[in-house]
Each structure stands twice: as C-alpha cells, then as structure tokens.
Chain A
Amino acid sequence: MPLNIDIQQILLHMLNFVILFAVGYFLLYNPIKKFMDKREKYYSDMDEEAEKKLSDSEKLRADYEEKLKELNSETERIKSDTLTEARAKADEMIKDAKAEASDIISSARAQGEAEKNDIIRSASDEIRELARSTAEKLITSENEDEYNKFLKSVEEADNGENE
C-alpha cells in the first residue's frame, strides 16, 4: 500500500491502544475521579451543613430576640401594674390612717370632755362638801340660824344648777 500503510499494523496499534485505554480508564481515571467526586461531596455536604447550622442559629437568635422583647414588655407591664397597685394601696392606707387619726382625735376629745365634766362635777361635790363642813363648823361655833340660812341658800343654788 502507498506510504507503507499496513492494515495489520494499524490493527495492532489499535489493539495496543484499546488495552491502554482500558487500563487507563479502569485503573486510573475512574478511581481518581471517584475519589475527587467523593471529596467534593464531602466538602459540599460540610458546607451545606454549616449553612444549615448558620441559618438555624440565625433563626434561634431571632426567636430569642423576639422572646426577649416579649419578656421586656411583660416586665414593663408587670412593673407598671405593680406600681399602680402600690400607689392605690398607699392611697388607701393614707386614707385609713387619716380616718383612724380623726376617730382617735374625736374620741380623745369626747373623753377629754367627759373627764372635764367629771372633774367639774367632782370639784363641785368637793366644794359642796367643803361648804357643808365649813357651815357645820360655823353652826356649831356661832348660831344655828345663820347656818340654816346658809344651807337653804346652798340647796337653792343646787336646785337652780340641776334645772
């Protein structure tokens, strides 16, 4: 054949290359490619997991922030309620104290009045007794008419006071 082309040698070259191709494909290309794919998958899984964890943590953070916000508003509300309640209680206590103080004062006044009356009465009795004893002393020492007159005047005075 022209150019020294030989079909047998072409076929031998092909056979040689087929064997080489099979060896290269199954012994080198496939296992190395498989390893590379496996490593790529490993890193992409790792990346995906990290992304997922990041998104979860972001979500968790948002939840916590929401909860914290709710908690703060609840605390504020409780604080304000408590303050209002305490103020109302304090007002009531002040009112009660004022009423009690007023009662105490009025009862003290009444008691004072009664004591004053008692004192006046007892003073009147004492004066009367003193006058009687003085009159008796006078009667016994000078004359009985004068004494009677005096008694009569005292009795009249008593009656007038009682009326």
Chain B
Amino acid sequence: MSKKRRIVSIVVFAVIFAALLVGIVLTSGASPASEEPIGEVMKDAVLHETGKINLLGIRINPGLVSAFSVSGIMILFALIIRIFVIPKFKLKPGRFQFLLEKAVGLFDGLAKENSPHKSHFIGGYIFSAGAYIFFSTLFELFGFQAVTVTGRPISLPAPLSDINGAIAMGVFSYGVILIGGLINNGFKGMFNALKDFSLPISMSFRLFGALLSGALVTELVYYYSLTSYVIPVLVGVLFTLLHAVIQAYVLTMLVSIFYGESSEPSRKKKRGKKI
C-alpha cells in the first residue's frame, strides 16, 4: 500500500468514526438500550432467575446451555484433531502441531513443577480444565442467542459465570485432589486434602466472581446505547480475554499445587538411637 493511499484510508476511517460518535451523542444521549431497569438486568445476569431456558423439559440456566455447547464444539474439535491431525504428527512440527504440543507442554510442565511425584494424571486434568475455562470464557464473545421460557431472546453467557457451573468446577477439582491423595497416599493423603476444606468454596467463588464481574461490566457497558458502540471492543473483549487466560491459569495452578501436596509421599521420621 502506497503512502498516499494509506493516508486516504486513515482519513476516511476517522471521518466515519467521528460521524458515528456525533450521531450517537445527538440521537440517544444517555438513554437505556433496554426497557428493563439496570438493577434487574444485573440481578438476572447474576442469578438467572427469570432468564431460564427449557431443555428437554428441565428449566435450566443459560450457562448450562453454554456449557453443553462449548463441550460439544470442543469434543468435535478433539475428535477431528485425534483422527486427522495427530496421526500425521512429524518430528519437525508444523504450526498447528507446534501449538498443540505447546499447550500440552505448558500444562504438563505446570503439573511436573507443582506435583513432581504424580504428574501424568493431573497434567491431563488441568489440560482439560484449562482448555474448558479458556474456551468457555471466550464463548460469550460470540453472543450466541437462545430463547428463554418467557420467549425473550438471551445472549448465551460464559458457563462459569453461572454459579452452578463455577461450583461444579470447584467441587469437582477438589474431588480430584481428594481422590488423588487417597489413591497415592491412602487416608493420610485424603486427610491432608480435607484440612483445606475451604478450597472448593474458594475455587468456586473465585471463578464465579471473576467471570461474573466481567459479565456484569459488559452488561453495564451494553446497557446504555452511548457506551455500547466503541467501549465494548476494549472493555468486553479485553476483559474476557484477560479473564480467560488468568482464570485458566489460576485454577490449573491451584489444582496442581494442592494435588501435589496431597499426593506427595510421606517422609518417615528417622528415630535417633537412644543412648
């Protein structure tokens, strides 16, 4: 692209941008985009009391629909990769192979670092959990629509911004740590994990709080039409990306550390000879 053409493109873009901004300010002011009051919108984003979805006769939160959707897509991709990509792996990796190996290597390294005695299983677990948290958080960016039982359309949120999803993830991870301690270290390992009984609550609510805060900020930004044009690009996308990376890292790191502690072989105390 020549210099002249580049300048023309920038000027055209700036004029369109300015015209849009002016138009937004002149026409809407600070009026709400939704007829529902902001308090109600945010309460619904947290509790999903009104925006339920009917799935096979069960009234469920939209977060569960998101979870099923994300899992379905991920399982489909996993199958495609397993059937078509992994058998063609080469010693000198291509870009996609490098990406897959990097992801596996990242979680495997995290598992080996934090749980050096038993790292294979927990490596696989945090790989799946990390991928789930990352992709399910990014899922809300696509804004897939569903219809609630009241007939209102709703944008599918991140599965973990639903408190049930966050509790499921936290409790299941704690269960993995507990069972890991029991299998590797017997009841001593299990009791070692049991003493951190606050762990499932802290893990669940950390996930829930972090993802919910992102969702609430996005809801807030989208609520007023004045702030719903440019700012969501920065706030919504960046917050979501940051949450996806940070929460995936935090949960996988915590799980691997606690798993490492519970599965660590107990050291036998050396008794000194009595003189």
Q: Do A and B come from one complex?
A: yes
Name A's B-contacting residues (CB within 8 A).
3-6, 8-14, 16-21, 23-25, 27-33, 35-36, 39, 42
Flag if A35 contacts B172 (CB, 8 Å). no
- Of B46, B125, B163, the most chain A CB neighbours within 10 A belong to B163
Flag if A28 contacts B71 (CB, 8 Å). no
Flag if A3 contacts B163 (CB, 8 Å). yes
Given contacts A17-B132, A19-B75, A20-B75, contact A25 B168 (CB under 8 A): no
Flag if B78 contacts A6 (CB, 8 Å). no
List of B residues within 8 angstroms of A12 by Cβ: 60, 64, 67, 164
B71 in complex: contacting residue of A3, A16, A27, CB < 8 Å: A16
List of B residues within 8 angstroms of A20 by Cβ: 71, 74-75, 128, 132
Q: Does B100 sit within 8 A of A, measured CB to CB?
A: yes
Flag if A9 contacts B82 (CB, 8 Å). no
Give the Cβ gap from B179 to chain A, nearest Cβ, in Å: 13
Q: Does B233 sit within 8 A of A, measured CB to CB?
A: no
List of A residues within 8 angstroms of B82 by Cβ: 27-28, 31
**How many residue pairs, one in A and one in B, have C-beta atoms under 8 Å apart?**
120
Within 8 A of A (CB), among B19-62: 46-49, 58, 60-61
Closest chain B residue to A13 by CB distance? B168
Q: Does B143 sit within 8 A of A, measured CB to CB?
A: no
Within 8 A of A (CB), among B165-201: 165, 167-169, 171-172
A13 in complex: contacting residue of B46, B91, B100, B169, CB < 8 Å: B169
Give the Cβ gap from A21 to chain B, nearest Cβ, in Å: 4
Flag if B78 contacts A28 (CB, 8 Å). yes
Give the Cβ gap from B67 to chain A, nearest Cβ, in Å: 5
Give the Cβ gap from A38 to chain B, nearest Cβ, in Å: 9
Q: Does B108 sit within 8 A of A, measured CB to CB?
A: yes
Closest chain B residue to A9 by CB distance? B164
List of A residues within 8 angstroms of B127 by Cβ: 24-25, 28-29
Q: Does B238 sit within 8 A of A, measured CB to CB?
A: no
In the assembly, what is the distance between CA of A53 and CA of B60, in Å? 67
Flag if A4 contacts B163 (CB, 8 Å). yes
- Of B46, B107, B164, B165, the most chain A CB neighbours within 10 A belong to B164
Flag if A5 contacts B167 (CB, 8 Å). yes
Given contacts A12-B60, A20-B128, A25-B124, contact A32 B163 (CB under 8 A): no
